Structure 1
Amino acid sequence: MAELRDILQSHLVDERASWSMGSFGAVAEFHQEKGEYLEADAPGLFARATRRGAIRLNAATVDRIEPVAYETLSPKAHRWSHALALCLPPREAAGNRRDTLAELGSDEEAVRPADRKAVLFDMGLALPQCDFCIRTEDPDLLALLRENAGRSLFDPANPAGGAILKAHPHRVALTRIGRVEVFQKIGGPDTGGVSPPGPHTHLLPQLLKSGRTHSANTPIPDHLVPLGYLHPANPVMDGMGEDTEFDIDDHARFQALYDQFARPDLPLLRKAVLDALGRKLEPAAFTAPSDRFGRATLRLTLRQQHRLAERFASHAYGELVVLWREVFDKVSDTATADDDAPGH
């Protein structure tokens, strides 16, 4: 079985893989483009930076990460998403949970040396497993942030929130397993109301109110907390959520991760579905799981088999899969599906 350290290093140099760190409602994402110039590149130290963003995994904690592979349904019935959640036990995962704006000093751990004199401020979001920060050397913004330190950014009378949105400082998501840094503009009025392509952040107050550590659609065990996510290349869509031709190799690569790191019962369920299809059973002969993640796994398996049947022109098998999908993966049933490309 592949070692997690090797998996992380190999995906760090894969331009099609992306990464995210944060909590439910506050996320920093790192993406690359093919051939994009690297301002820092140290895969052995789990660090990489471009002109638009950066990522570093803490080498000291990599071996303590407990990975959880999972797939999620898309609102579009011909595709799906997948990821490897990078988790720790709750006590190890806990952030500082500051609830007001706080100055943390110079960011001496910044991935790029040029950023290490800039000043970090915790935004005070009180996230369970992430300190969501901004970083700046702008003297005017620094003065305003210092003047309003100790106040909540959610206070309508606090001018710091508006100033941050206007100044577009770097955002830095700090977790116990590492950091993601975003240098691009904050999605909002200056970007046409959408996040820019490449590294970006999402801050959604309505989700923050839930106090959750992650989406209810991800099968993370209760004894673990996800701090970050590796998003390997998806076989049916690109990083912007646009459809692509089905890539059998990308599909196979993630299935290997899924078999190794998914919740143990879900790969077994997938094998049971494939066995039933191989024996040409009618859908009525198969008992759908009662658990939400089991039902999602059934639907995901059928979607993937449909794409495989299309890819290899297996007409009879494809007709059987369609019959199963009419029973178990109704197009109208999208209540448990995730947005493929939030913010874009």
Structure 2
Amino acid sequence: MELETLLQSALTDENAGWNMGSFGAIAEFHHVAGDPMPAPPGALTQMTMRGGVRIDRLDGVKPVAWEMLSPKTHRWSHGISLCLPREEAAMAGRRVLTELGPDDGAIRPEDRAAILFDMGLGQHQVDFCIRTADPELLDVLRAQAERSLFDQGNPAMGAILKAHPARVALTPIGRVEVYQKIGGPDTGGKSPEGPHTHVLPKLLRAGRTHSANTPIPEGWVPCGNLHPENPVIDRMGADKTPNRAAHDRFQALLSQWGSDAYVAAKALFDNALEAATGPEGVAGPGSRLERVGLRNAIRQARRFDQDNPVIDAWATAFDKGTEPDEDDDPQSKGH
């Protein structure tokens, strides 16, 4: 499948999710069940009253399809990362609050006169911003410009959390905008359903572009992620009846854009399952990525064929316990 065709189709799929950001600062766009499903307002663009996403660049973008183990053995996550070479992925990397002027590139025309501020999070592939026309918030932000939001006694962060301005994640390939409130005291301590953002200082300090659990090739940086419909997890993160069609659709994308080693590890098990052959005499996978592939293949087969002694034998041999996470990244546990 052509990448542009996939992305345009996914923008009209209410079960797909999107995000742009880095390890510790991310903006997500998801459709909320019951909300009107609008037609895209332009090429590779989608928005609702809660937020929006736009892809501005595909030239040079490398799609990387992946699956991730879940601590819950009946689940897994998957996605397609839209990557650029590290040098091309670089944004401004500002480390202080900086006024950028009117947001001429805003998705909604009515937002283009509002003022954009880079929060100064110093991330490689994203300038994480807020946008506002609120005079009181503008006064606070301008008074604290060229300071870190994390300086002791800086009132800007408190003012932002109180005013709930739009958040805008700018990357070399496009943007995600979030119009809903910031998760916190005003939202009962939870992120609102649908589009939302996370800024996690603990993860920001790691200085990574992405989770170590996401198998991005060396020298490449994910600038955005598409999460096609997950076959076993619904949009609210709850278990759902396994959807074989959704699973098969993603497996085709994984074969096209996934790691050869990962796909081969899954094929080893799939071929054995088709031949009703147990794991006797099979050497274990040689790398962590291959182990994840084999274990996910076993878990996926079990969800779609629960009473199969061949699957049980392979699980006993190769899917004992839980694979330790390489990092503590709640952003990587999505769709």
Report the TM-score when normalising by structure 2.
0.95
User: 1:88, 1:129 → 2: CA distance?
Assistant: 9
User: 2:304, 2:91 → 1: CA distance?
Assistant: 43
Conserved 8 A contact 2:302-2:311? yes
User: 2:184, 2:333 → 1: CA distance?
Assistant: 14
Quote the offset at 1:308 in angstroms.
Answer: 1.8
Residues 148-171 of structure 1 deviation map (CA, whole Å, 9 limit, x = unaligned)? 000001112211011111111100
Instruction: Give the structure 2 partner of residue 20 of structure 1.
Output: 19
Matched residue type, 2:129: C
Counterpart selection for 2:154 from 158, 180, 201: 158
Instruction: Give the structure 1 partner of residue 228 of structure 2.
Output: 232
Instruction: Give the structure 2 partner of residue 201 of structure 1.
Output: 197
Counterpart selection for 2:105 from 106, 109, 113: 109
Matched residue type, 2:52: A
| 2:83 pairs with 1:87 | yes
User: 1:68, 1:56 → 2: CA distance?
Assistant: 19
Quote the offset at 1:276 in angstroms.
Answer: 2.4
For structure 1, the residue ranges without an aligned partner over 5 or more in a row are none
User: 1:285, 1:82 → 2: CA distance?
Assistant: 30
Conserved 8 A contact 2:94-2:121? yes
Quote the offset at 1:256 in angstroms.
Answer: 0.7
Instruction: Give the structure 2 partner of residue 218 of structure 1.
Output: 214
Matched residue type, 1:292: R
| 2:167 pairs with 1:171 | yes
Instruction: Give the structure 2 partner of residue 262 of structure 1.
Output: 258
Conserved 8 A contact 2:32-2:193? no
Conserved 8 A contact 1:40-1:50? no
| 2:139 pairs with 1:140 | no
**Over aligned residues, Cα RMSD in angstroms?**
1.8
Matched residue type, 1:95: M
Please state whether the residue corresponding to 2:67 is helix, strand or coil.
strand
Quote the offset at 1:271 in angstroms.
Answer: 1.1
Instruction: Give the structure 1 partner of residue 94 of structure 2.
Output: 98
Please state whether the residue corresponding to 2:138 is helix, strand or coil.
helix
More deviation, 334-343/85-94: 334-343
Residues 40-65 of structure 1 deviation map (CA, whole Å, 9 limit, x = unaligned)? 7235x11111110011100xx21321
Instruction: Give the structure 2 partner of residue 274 of structure 1.
Output: 270
Instruction: Give the structure 1 partner of residue 32 of structure 2.
Output: 33
User: 1:39, 1:308 → 2: CA distance?
Assistant: 33
Conserved 8 A contact 1:26-1:132? yes
Distance 1:143 1:88, change over 3 A: same
Conserved 8 A contact 1:74-1:340? no
For structure 2, the residue ranges without an aligned partner over 5 or more in a row are none
Quote the offset at 1:336 in angstroms.
Answer: 5.4
Conserved 8 A contact 2:167-2:179? yes
Matched residue type, 1:267: V
Report the TM-score when normalising by structure 1.
0.92
Conserved 8 A contact 1:40-1:111? no
Instruction: Give the structure 2 partner of residue 9 of structure 1.
Output: 8
More deviation, 131-140/186-195: 186-195
Percent identity over the alignment is 53
User: 1:64, 1:51 → 2: CA distance?
Assistant: 31
Quote the offset at 1:133 in angstroms.
Answer: 0.1
Quote the offset at 1:321 in angstroms.
Answer: 0.7
| 2:303 pairs with 1:319 | no
Distance 1:23 1:340, change over 3 A: closer
Conserved 8 A contact 1:100-1:123? yes
User: 1:186, 1:42 → 2: CA distance?
Assistant: 25
Instruction: Give the structure 2 partner of residue 329 of structure 1.
Output: 319
| 2:302 pairs with 1:302 | no
| 2:52 pairs with 1:54 | yes
Conserved 8 A contact 2:70-2:333? no
Distance 1:20 1:218, change over 3 A: same
More deviation, 327-336/294-303: 327-336
Conserved 8 A contact 1:88-1:227? yes
Matched residue type, 1:12: L
User: 1:333, 1:151 → 2: CA distance?
Assistant: 41
Please state whether the residue corresponding to 2:209 is helix, strand or coil.
coil
More deviation, 282-291/191-200: 282-291
User: 2:5, 2:34 → 1: CA distance?
Assistant: 22
More deviation, 265-274/76-85: 265-274
Instruction: Give the structure 2 partner of residue 121 of structure 1.
Output: 117
Conserved 8 A contact 1:28-1:181? yes
User: 2:74, 2:330 → 1: CA distance?
Assistant: 14
User: 2:331, 2:309 → 1: CA distance?
Assistant: 27
Please state whether the residue corresponding to 1:226 is helix, strand or coil.
strand
Instruction: Give the structure 2 partner of residue 42 of structure 1.
Output: 41
Say how many residue pairs are matched.
Answer: 333
User: 2:165, 2:71 → 1: CA distance?
Assistant: 33
| Pairs within 5 Å for 1:67-78 | 67-78=63-74
Conserved 8 A contact 2:232-2:241? yes
